A and B are shown apart, each in its own frame.
Chain A
Amino acid sequence: MSIKKNVYLGFLIALAFVFSYIEFLVPISVGIPGAKLGLANLVILISLYTMSYKDAFVLSLIRIVLVGFTFSNMASMLYSIAGAVLSFIVMVIAKKTNFLSITGVSVLGGIFHNVGQIIMAVWVLKTPSLVFYYLPLLIVIGCLSGTVIGVLGSIVTKRIQKVAKFY
């Protein structure tokens, strides 16, 4: 079981890494630092529904560190960590309430990923006005990408859950 789980974890990391690479190659820029579709979040979402929270969290951090060192710099890695941690916590809470389906959880995750990045930016750049300026747009973008990822995620998760659960 544990070997299977490790293989699965490795597979998800690789997948997240590839998704990040794709986004790095084809950036969908909306003129806001840090805002992107977040394909890699699909992997995190799947892991959340197929693995233990602990393992999913580890996966999330490994992805950021790997991608941070490979494709971006320390500064944007800092933003990514803030976004990922906040988004992860919110998704776990949302999932535990059983109030939302995977799509709703993904939407919240997408939004709070952006919110986390903004909070970090405000803290680092000391410009609180940034919040008001970017937040509405980031919420909409997060909502949009969250929905897309959520729908994709629910399809994939259903299939994986048929095969195995890794916790």
Chain B
Amino acid sequence: MNKQKKISIFIIVAIIIVAALIGFNYNHDKGKTLFTASFLDVFDTKTDIVGYSDSKQEFSQQVEKIKEKLVYYNNLYDIYNDYDNINNIKTINDNAGIKPVKVDTQIINLLKYCKDIYQKTDKQVNVAMGSVLSIWHDYREEGSENPDNAKLPPMEELMEASKHTNIDDIIIDEANSTVYLKDPEMSLDVGSIGKGYAVQRVVEYAKEIGITDMLISVGGNVCAIGQKDDGSKWRLGIQNPDLESEETYSKKVEIKDACIVTSGDYQRYYTVDNVKYCHIIDPDTLMPANYFSSVSIITKDSGLADALSTSVYNMPFEEGLEFINNFDGVEAMWIFEDGSIKYSDNFEQYVVE
């Protein structure tokens, strides 16, 4: 009996130790804390990172790594600034018609992706439109600084510039890792796609270094890695374009392992004769589109979401809906100037409340 008792006590103690160990791990996993970080260093916008981590220190390290990557892509895809020892998109533009520029593979990859997207979006997203966009950019800057004197760019000037927007004039030499713009008058503007593409690369990097639940938002270009620590989905607000309204968000959506990008006219615009002209330019009319206040796209790939939100913004609703339906796993939401909202076929599954 005594021996039996000893054995039974031993077994019980063993069970308890194992249970305690399992119990501790169980809690350990669920005990992560929510942290947030933000910075202004990349893509001329605010980056927010929301994530679960065991400690503040671990989270800060993750953020630093992600920031480093974002800075890397930011410098490569910049069209306005030079950086020491880096050939970026601006270097390519500066050497248009002069010589091929040796660039990082990530620029080659981006430009190949851009050419691919150009075909897929039926020529709606053209990164070779820099000549046209820079005219709008200059007039918009002028007009914002000097609202009384705000002017629209003359159509002749835009038409002239649009002659130098042939995407086939981007000569990519993968073997030598060079890019050459054949047309000396042309320039690249990756604004409609570079940010989203970079975010997607960074998300993949984050997964590689073992991050399993994080939200990365670069200027509202939001990517969700995994879901929240408690098993619920990430909840995002879609900005209400009516900035006077009490409602901050038009709709709330819940996503996991997906990206959402919104293109809208309410942030970057300028006013000429009481008419708003936003920063998104329709390649067909060379003018800012004004069908909607904003268009949001949800899909797995941030680069695609970025490109599609711009192109859909430039199309009338029916055309845009048909366009979206050509893509698998892409959903869209349109907010019209009067505040009314329309969804693509399956967008509503993401909407909450």
Which of A's residues lie within 8 Å of B, judged by CB?
Answer: 2, 58, 61-62, 64-65, 68, 73-75, 77-78, 81, 124-126
**Contact indicator B23/A62 (Cβ below 8 Å):** no
**Contact indicator A75/B12 (Cβ below 8 Å):** no
Inter-chain contacts of B86 with A (CB < 8 A): none
**Contact indicator A68/B27 (Cβ below 8 Å):** no
Residue B22 at the chain A interface, CB threshold 8 Å: yes
Q: Is the interface of B mostly helix, strand, loop or mixed?
A: helix
Q: Tell me, rounded to whole Å, the shortest Cβ–Cβ distance linking B17 to chain A.
A: 10
Question: Can you pick out 28 interface pairs between chain A and chain B where the beta carbons lie within 8 Å of each other?
Answer: A58-B8, A58-B9, A61-B12, A61-B16, A62-B12, A65-B16, A73-B26, A74-B19, A74-B22, A74-B23, A75-B23, A75-B26, A75-B27, A75-B30, A77-B23, A78-B19, A78-B20, A78-B23, A78-B24, A78-B27, A81-B16, A81-B19, A81-B20, A124-B24, A124-B27, A124-B28, A125-B31, A126-B31
Out of A2, A65, A75, A78, name the residue touching B15 (CB < 8 Å): A65
- Contacts A78-B27, A125-B31; A65 near B12 (Cβ below 8 A): yes
Q: Tell me, rounded to whole Å, the shortest Cβ–Cβ distance linking B28 to chain A.
A: 8
**Contact indicator A124/B20 (Cβ below 8 Å):** no
Inter-chain contacts of A62 with B (CB < 8 A): 12
Q: In the complex, which residue of chain B has the Cβ closest to the Cβ of A3?
A: B1
Chain B, interface residues (CB within 8 Å), range: 10 to 19
Tally of A-B residue pairs with Cβ under 8 A? Answer: 40
**Contact indicator A74/B1 (Cβ below 8 Å):** no
Q: Tell me, rounded to whole Å, the shortest Cβ–Cβ distance linking B11 to chain A.
A: 10
Q: Tell me, rounded to whole Å, the shortest Cβ–Cβ distance linking A116 to chain B.
A: 13
Inter-chain contacts of A75 with B (CB < 8 A): 23, 26-27, 30
Q: In the complex, which residue of chain A has the Cβ closest to the Cβ of B27?
A: A124
Nearest 4 pairs between A and B by C-beta? Answer: A78-B23, A74-B23, A124-B27, A74-B22
Known: A62-B12, A78-B19. 16 other contacts (CB 8 A): A58-B8, A65-B15, A65-B16, A74-B19, A74-B22, A74-B23, A75-B23, A75-B27, A75-B30, A77-B19, A78-B24, A81-B16, A124-B27, A124-B28, A124-B31, A125-B31
Inter-chain contacts of B13 with A (CB < 8 A): 61
Inter-chain contacts of A126 with B (CB < 8 A): 31
Q: Binary interface profile of B, 165-200, with partner A (CB < 8 Å = 1, else 0)?
A: 000000000000000000000000000000000000
Q: Tell me, rounded to whole Å, the shortest Cβ–Cβ distance linking A53 to chain B.
A: 13
Inter-chain contacts of B27 with A (CB < 8 A): 75, 78, 124-125
Q: In the complex, which residue of chain B has the Cβ closest to the Cβ of A125?
A: B31
Inter-chain contacts of B22 with A (CB < 8 A): 74
Q: Which of B26-71 contact A (CB under 8 A)?
A: 26-28, 30-31
Q: Tell me, rounded to whole Å, the shortest Cβ–Cβ distance linking B270 to chain A.
A: 50
Inter-chain contacts of B20 with A (CB < 8 A): 78, 81
A68 to B26, CA, bound (A): 14
Q: In the complex, which residue of chain B has the Cβ closest to the Cβ of A5?
A: B1
A58 to B24, CA, bound (A): 22
Q: Tell me, rounded to whole Å, the shortest Cβ–Cβ distance linking A121 to chain B.
A: 9
Inter-chain contacts of A65 with B (CB < 8 A): 12, 15-16, 19
**Contact indicator B1/A2 (Cβ below 8 Å):** yes
A3 to B120, CA, bound (A): 82
Inter-chain contacts of B28 with A (CB < 8 A): 124
Q: Tell me, rounded to whole Å, the shortest Cβ–Cβ distance linking A74 to chain B.
A: 4
Q: Tell me, rounded to whole Å, the shortest Cβ–Cβ distance linking B300 to chain A.
A: 33
